[in-house]
């Protein structure tokens, strides 16, 4: 059987159609995944994210092992590492160091966009261009001129521009600090970050229209990030909840650890109850609280009767 990018993409799409954390019936998202060639955004040399027996991360070279490279591109749960130690480690062989850029796994990208739920014609800001793959999916949905993406690494930004042009996708790629967003006098309908933060930057909230949506990975005390979905009030504040446990690389300006208590997290949280958390961010800082448990209809009626 001949293995092609198209056949692997179709198989990956089938796999992600069978999981609750996949397309979940969003036909637009499945269509975008099938029509945007993920392989066009993956460098010829990437590192596998698990250590080999020698303790280093193996390099997958497209020119040496084209089948292995292509299969890795379309594994639903596999992220591929595109940069180590901010680019100081060359992709010339197995390596060790801190991951600083990647192309997220297909499953994570799809989950991120499913919760963002962009609409055609909307204005979208992406924080962390990386390879440009998520940017391309956003542009496929939003249409020409709808996507602005910010990348702090000038080399990554330049490569992403080239890849987007090569597949005919239109997006404005800005080289800059994503924590500052990109203010140009117009508010965004949706903002999505592909890098995690310890604290939601105020600039993001100030650049969202009233009712606009922010989806971003937020560092948690649980040893992983929580993907949060917040709705903006148009005055620099937003609130919402956690929607999924995820793992992303940190934005460069927030790599230094900080006490979670200083970031609005209460103590004594049960990791199993992450769905019960309410997240508020804005001018008064960041606050995470436990949402009260939902009352049953019977309990609600009893409470009303007691109040009479």
pLDDT tens per residue, range 199-236: 999 999 999 999 999 999 999 999 999 999 999 999 99
Higher pLDDT, 144 or 14: 14
Mean per-residue pLDDT for 258-287?
A: 96
Mean per-residue pLDDT for 262-274?
A: 95
DSSP string, the chain: ----HHHHHHHHHHHHHSSTTTTTT-HHHHHHHHHS-GGGGS-SEEE-SS--TTSSBPEEETTT-HHHHHHHHT-TT--EEEEEGGGTS-SSS-B-S-EEEEE--HHHHHHHHHHH---TT--EEEE--TTSHHHHHHHHHH-TT-EEEEES-HHHHHHHHHHHHHTT---EEEES-GGG---SSS-EEEEEESSBBSS--HHHHHTEEEEEEEEEEEE-TTSSEEEEEEEE-SSS-EEEEEEEEE--PBPGGG-S---GGGGTPPSS--GGGGGGEEEEEETTEEEEEEPPPPPPHHHHHHHHHHH-
User: What pTM was estimated for this model as a whole?
Assistant: 0.93
Q: What is the pLDDT of residue 2?
A: 77
Of residues 7, 17, 27, 104, which has the active-site annotation?
104
Mean per-residue pLDDT for 164-173?
A: 96
Residue 198, pLDDT above cutoff 60:
yes
Q: Is 101 a catalytic residue?
A: no
Residue 299, pLDDT above cutoff 50:
no
Higher pLDDT, 258 or 300: 258
- Sorted by where each starts, the structural domains of the chain and their CATH numbers stand as 5-103 (no CATH), 106-290 (3.40.50.150)
Q: What percent of the chain has pLDDT over 70?
A: 94
For the chain, the average pLDDT equals 94
Mean per-residue pLDDT for 249-256?
A: 97
Q: What percent of the chain has pLDDT over 90?
A: 92
Confidence of residue 304 (pLDDT cuts 50, 70, 90): low
pLDDT tens per residue, range 18-28: 998 899 999 99
């Amino acid at each position: 059987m001949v293995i092609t990018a198209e056949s692997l993409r179709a198989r990956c799409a089938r796999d992600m159609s069978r999981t609750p954390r996949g397309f979940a019936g969003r036909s637009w998202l499945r269509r975008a995944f099938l029509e945007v060639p993920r392989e066009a955004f993956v460098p010829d040399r990437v590192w596998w994210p698990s250590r080999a027996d020698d303790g280093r991360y193996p390099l997958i070279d497209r020119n040496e092992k084209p089948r292995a490279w292509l299969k890795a591109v379309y594994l639903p749960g596999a992220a591929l590492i595109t940069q180590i130690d901010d680019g100081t480690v060359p992709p010339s062989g197995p390596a060790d160091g801190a991951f600083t850029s990647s192309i997220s796994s297909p499953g994570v990208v799809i989950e991120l966009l499913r919760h963002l739920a962009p609409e055609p014609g909307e204005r979208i800001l992406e924080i962390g261009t990386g390879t440009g793959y998520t940017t391309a999916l956003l542009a496929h949905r939003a249409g020409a001129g709808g996507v602005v993406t910010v990348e702090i690494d000038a080399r990554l930004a330049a490569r992403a521009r080239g890849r987007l042009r090569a597949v005919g996708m239109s997006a404005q790629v800005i080289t800059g600090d994503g924590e500052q967003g990109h203010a140009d006098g117009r508010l965004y309908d949706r903002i999505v970050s592909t890098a995690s933060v310890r604290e939601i930057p105020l600039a993001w909230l100030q650049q969202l229209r009233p009712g606009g949506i922010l989806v971003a990975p937020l560092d948690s005390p649980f040893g992983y990030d929580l993907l949060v979905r917040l709705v903006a009030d148009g005055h620099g504040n937003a609130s919402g909840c956690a929607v999924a446990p995820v793992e992303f690389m940190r934005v460069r300006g927030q790599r230094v650890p900080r006490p979670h208590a200083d970031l609005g997290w209460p103590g004594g949280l049960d990791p199993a109850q992450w769905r019960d958390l309410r997240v508020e961010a804005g001018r008064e800082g960041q606050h995470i609280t436990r949402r009260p448990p939902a009352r049953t209809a019977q309990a609600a009626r009893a409470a009303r009767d007691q109040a009479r």
